[in-house]
Amino acid sequence: MALNLVFLGRLEDVAGGGSRVIPLAVTIDAVLDGLEPELASALRGPRVKLAVNGILLQDMDAPVLKDGDEIAFLPPVSGG
């Protein structure tokens, strides 16, 4: 049982790649707690958004994760 993590933008650099598969964890906090401290800190940034199975979350504590879920971490958007 596993989760698929997807890292976009600068988060891909911090993660060392665009995606990874990790063992199933039932909450976002549990997912982040299982990652390297530098990456977990970057993903917990106040402006980082996340989507589970393509649905943008408003509350990081909301979903109960299931086998095969995809969690995408989206960095702050900049530009002009």
- The answer to the question of residue 21 being in a domain is yes
- The answer to the question of residue 78 being in a domain is no
- How confident is the model at residue 35, as a pLDDT? 97
- The answer to the question of residue 75 being in a domain is no
Burial of 47 (0-12, 13-18, 19+ CB in 10 A): exposed
- How confident is the model at residue 77, as a pLDDT? 76
Q: How far is CA 45 from CA 33, 38, 66, in A?
A: 14, 11, 24
- The answer to the question of residue 39 being in a domain is yes
- How confident is the model at residue 80, as a pLDDT? 55
What phi, psi does 13 have (nearest 5°)?
-65, -45
- The answer to the question of residue 77 being in a domain is no
Has residue 78 got a pLDDT over 90? Answer: no
Burial of 59 (0-12, 13-18, 19+ CB in 10 A): exposed
Count of domains forming the chain: 1
CATH assignment of the domain containing 24: 3.10.20.30
pLDDT per position as a tens digit, 4-43: 999 999 999 999 999 999 999 999 999 999 999 999 999 9
Has residue 61 got a pLDDT over 80? Answer: no
Domain that holds residue 25: 2-70
Pairing mode of beta strands 70-74, 2-7: parallel
- The answer to the question of residue 63 being in a domain is yes
